[in-house]
């Protein structure tokens, strides 16, 4: 599992480039979750990060599960305890259920469409508590997460740095870079962060993919 793997540097590979990593644990966790989903819902589609690859895919109206077995693989490889597991269920291209699990703190963030968002800490017998976004309205009181994504092309780097500069010059309280879309969005959902932004565009196929953000979007909304 993510939490109990003794050697995070287990069989590391790169995908699109050196900033985009994958490990044997990614594949093992994805297989475990996919098999569980397919056993209980054999007619449902599954879009999982490692099996789907980096190419843009097509999301249909049929019941679909998205899986990110380790969101924050670079953190995992470098033994920074900022990685999570993300699972979501969609139908008619709408997120119906979203789950983000942070194994290191044993925090389970989950939401069901129309029923609110919750945080369960300390195992399956713990009582979930409702969560909500912060009420901060002033940038000077806000802590904002900003992620550069994987691209290191000069134009993308310059755009990201220019945006950071604009936010800092606007008087933001502080910036954070956690290295995991799932935890960024979960922390926005429970008010620990006031906002989160990541370089990229789903329409252009660059940046965070649906397995990264579907669950977090429901947590926040």
Q: How confident is the model at residue 144 (pLDDT cuts 50, 70, 90)?
A: very high
pLDDT over 80 at 154, yes or no: yes
What pLDDT, in 10s, does the model give residues 111-135? 999 999 999 999 999 999 999 999 9
CA–CA gap between residue 24 and residue 13 (Å, rounded): 9
Helix, strand or coil, per DSSP, at residue 58 = coil
CA–CA gap between residue 16 and residue 129 (Å, rounded): 39
Cβ contact 39:31 at 8 Å: no
What pLDDT, in 10s, does the model give residues 65-74? 999 999 999 9
DSSP 169-216: HTT-SEEE--S-HHHHHHHHHTTSSSEEEES-BTTTTBS--HHHHHHH
Give backbone dihedrals phi and psi of 202, rounded to 5 degrees, phi first: -65, -40
Give, as one character, the DSSP assignment of residue 9: T
Tokens found for residue 194: 């006031």
The DSSP H or E segment spanning 101 is strand 94-102
**Farthest CA pair distance, the chain:** 52
CA–CA gap between residue 122 and residue 25 (Å, rounded): 23
CA–CA gap between residue 218 and residue 120 (Å, rounded): 16
Its pTM stands at: 0.89
Least confident piece of the model among 83-87, 91-95, 152-156: 152-156
Which residue matches tokens 């129309």? 114
pLDDT over 90 at 53, yes or no: no
Give residue 21's pLDDT.
73
Q: How many angstroms separate the Cα of 154 from the Cα of each of 151, 159, 194?
A: 9, 9, 29
pLDDT over 90 at 2, yes or no: no
Compare 12 and 137 and report the one with higher pLDDT: 137
Q: How confident is the model at residue 7 (pLDDT cuts 50, 70, 90)?
A: low
Q: How confident is the model at residue 6 (pLDDT cuts 50, 70, 90)?
A: very low
């Amino acid at each position: 599992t993510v939490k109990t793997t003794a050697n995070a540097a287990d069989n590391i590979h790169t995908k699109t480039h050196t900033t985009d990593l994958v490990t044997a644990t990614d594949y093992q966790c994805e297989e475990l979750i996919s098999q569980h989903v397919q056993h209980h819902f054999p007619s449902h589609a599954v879009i999982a990060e490692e099996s789907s690859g980096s190419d843009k895919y097509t999301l249909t109206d049929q019941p679909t599960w998205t899986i990110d077995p380790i969101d924050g693989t670079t953190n995992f490889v470098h033994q920074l305890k900022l990685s999570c597991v993300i699972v979501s269920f969609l139908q008619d291209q709408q997120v119906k259920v979203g789950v983000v699990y942070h194994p290191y703190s044993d925090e389970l963030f989950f939401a069901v469409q129309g029923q609110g968002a919750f945080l369960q800490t300390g195992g399956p017998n713990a009582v979930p508590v409702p969560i909500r976004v912060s009420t901060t309205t002033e940038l000077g009181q806000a802590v904002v997460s900003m992620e550069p994504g994987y691209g290191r092309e000069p134009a993308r780097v310059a755009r990201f740095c220019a945006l950071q500069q604009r936010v800092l010059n606007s008087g933001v309280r502080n910036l954070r870079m956690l290295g995991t879309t799932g935890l960024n969005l979960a922390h926005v959902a429970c008010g620990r962060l006031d906002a989160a932004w990541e370089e990229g565009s789903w329409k252009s196929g660059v940046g965070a993919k649906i397995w990264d953000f579907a669950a977090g979007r429901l947590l926040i909304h």
